[in-house]
């Protein structure tokens, strides 16, 4: 325990404990002996990130085997799932946002209920292998995950957890999969792009690429299929005819890791690692004996690696998953009220009393702190225009 703090009423005790990635922030109510708040980050590097369908939550998976769901509004962790026995390689949401799926290196895909906060389905590989990529169809009926060592794609039924089919054909590790309708696209290091019909369990098309594929994604409408290759180029294919309609050359940026379509299909987010040879990346050498230097400045930069990126369904923000954590970049700038800045006096009854006494600003502040939409609307409707 590194720090303690008690609120003014003396009912809550805030405790800061642990070091580094093992640190925790806990708010304890000693009278009821319950946690008011308990927050802890991943203990190891985060490997995957995915927005919920409504854009209100972000799911993350890490090498510590944990799956966490975060609120985009408060930036607090909502729930943590710890059923995996090895690192989490991918996460994805169902279309209704009521369930979250995660694939792990322990060879299982787990489905988590976000209403009751429990693991309600576990899908196991018939072979002992690690799982890499993960996808689910729009109807939330079929779950697909790729094997890291065996180069296969497993198809399960989410309803009963049974293995329905094994799609084989790739001769190298599968880098990415993407599903739209009844078709599944898989990109591999064997320089091929395969399009499968997951209903008929057949290969509809196999497209040869010039370089190893790193990622693949359908546009939201399904008309375009984008493939990222090792030469830092993005090839665009028309899904109806499987013909290449364009190429995005990014050779000057090199070292591309990920790409992601926006929800509306008119923007594509591409992650490019900065080269160490760029002029901006060079550090000015300080001459011995000079006074114009900062002794606390780093002599070397920490190594950073981007693992995954994901667009928000609203198209207004995107999340970047790296070795430094998850960074959210947004076009919207707004001040958020901390829902934990509450006292015993902040109650719905206090809001009603403040309205009756004409203290409209105090009533609005308490309603915002309680974070109840109906109460906020009621205060605004009862506030005179002059106020």
Q: For residue range 257-283, what is the model confidence (pLDDT) as tens digits?
A: 555 555 545 555 555 555 444 444 445
Residue 110, pLDDT score: 96
Residue 259, pLDDT score: 55
Q: Rounded to whole angstroms, how far apart are CA atoms 173 and 162?
A: 24
Q: Which one, of 253, 247, 244, 289, lies nearest residue 271 by Cα?
A: 253
29 burial (CB, 10 Å; 0-12 / 13-18 / 19+) is middle
- Rounded to two decimals, what is the model's pTM? 0.70
Q: Rounded to whole angstroms, how far apart are CA atoms 87 and 13?
A: 34
Virtual torsion, Cα 22, 28, 33, 35, nearest 10 deg: -60
Residue 75, pLDDT score: 82
Residue 275, pLDDT score: 45
What are the domain boundaries of the chain?
1-40, 41-275+304-330, 337-387
Q: Is 40 helix (H, G, I), strand (E, B) or coil?
A: strand
Beta sheet of 24-29, edge-to-edge order = 3-6, 12-17, 24-29, 34-40
Query: Is 58 in contact with 50 (CB distance < 8 Å)?
Result: yes
The count of other CB atoms within 10 Å of the CB of residue 309 is 20
Q: Rounded to whole angstroms, how far apart are CA atoms 194 and 206?
A: 4
Q: Rounded to whole angstroms, how far apart are CA atoms 355 and 364?
A: 9
41-275+304-330 adopts what CATH topology? Methylamine Dehydrogenase; Chain H (2.130.10)
Spatial neighbors of 156 by CB under 8 A, at least 6 apart, are 109, 123, 142, 143, 144, 145, 162, 163, 164
Element (H, E) at 375: helix 373-382
pLDDT in tens, 93-126: 999 999 999 999 999 999 999 999 999 999 999 8
Q: Which one, of 30, 29, 1, lies nearest residue 15 by Cα?
A: 1
Residue 264, pLDDT score: 47
Q: Which residue positions in the chain have pLDDT lower than 70?
A: 19-22, 204, 251-302, 333-344
Q: Rounded to whole angstroms, how far apart are CA atoms 68 and 187?
A: 28
Q: Rounded to whole angstroms, how far apart are CA atoms 146 and 169?
A: 12
**Total residues belonging to the chain:** 387
Phi first, then psi: give them for residue 375, nearest 5 degrees: -70, -40
């Amino acid at each position: 325990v590194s720090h303690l703090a008690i609120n003014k009423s003396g009912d809550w005790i805030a405790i800061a404990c642990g070091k580094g990635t093992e640190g925790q922030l806990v708010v304890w109510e000693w009278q009821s002996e319950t946690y008011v708040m308990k927050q802890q980050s991943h203990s190891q590097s985060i490997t995957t990130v995915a927005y919920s369908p409504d854009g209100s939550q972000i799911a993350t998976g890490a090498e510590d085997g944990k799956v966490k769901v975060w609120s985009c509004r408060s930036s607090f962790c909502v729930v943590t799932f710890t059923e995996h026995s090895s690192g989490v390689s991918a996460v994805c949401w169902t279309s209704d946002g009521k369930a979250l799926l995660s694939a792990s290196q322990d060879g299982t895909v787990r489905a988590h209920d976000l209403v009751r906060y429990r693991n309600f389905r576990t899908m196991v590989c018939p072979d002992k292998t690690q799982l890499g990529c993960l996808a689910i169809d729009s109807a939330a009926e079929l779950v697909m995950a790729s094997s890291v060592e065996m180069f296969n794609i497993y198809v399960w039924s989410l309803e009963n957890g049974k293995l329905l089919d094994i799609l084989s054909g790739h001769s190298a590790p599968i880098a990415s999969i993407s599903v739209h309708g009844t078709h599944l696209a898989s990109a591999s290091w064997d320089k091929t792009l395969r399009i499968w019909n997951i209903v008929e369990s057949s290969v509809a098309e196999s497209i040869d690429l010039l370089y190893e594929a790193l990622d693949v994604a359908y546009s939201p409408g399904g008309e375009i299929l984008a493939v990222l290759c090792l030469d830092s180029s993005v090839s665009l294919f028309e899904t109806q005819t499987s013909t290449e309609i364009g190429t995005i050359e990014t050779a000057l940026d090199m070292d591309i890791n990920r790409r992601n379509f926006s929800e509306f299909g008119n923007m594509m987010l591409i992650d490019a690692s900065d080269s160490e040879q760029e002029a901006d990346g060079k550090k000015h050498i300080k001459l011995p004996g000079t006074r114009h230097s900062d002794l606390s400045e780093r002599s070397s930069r920490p190594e950073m690696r981007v693992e995954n990126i994901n667009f928000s369904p609203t198209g207004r923000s995107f999340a970047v998953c790296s070795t430094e954590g998850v960074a959210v970049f947004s076009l919207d700038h707004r001040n958020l009220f901390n829902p934990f800045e509450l006292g015993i006096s902040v109650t719905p009854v206090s809001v009603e009393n403040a309205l009756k006494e004409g203290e409209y600003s105090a009533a609005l502040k308490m309603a915002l702190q309680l974070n109840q939409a109906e109460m906020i609307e009621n205060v605004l409707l009862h506030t005179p225009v002059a106020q």
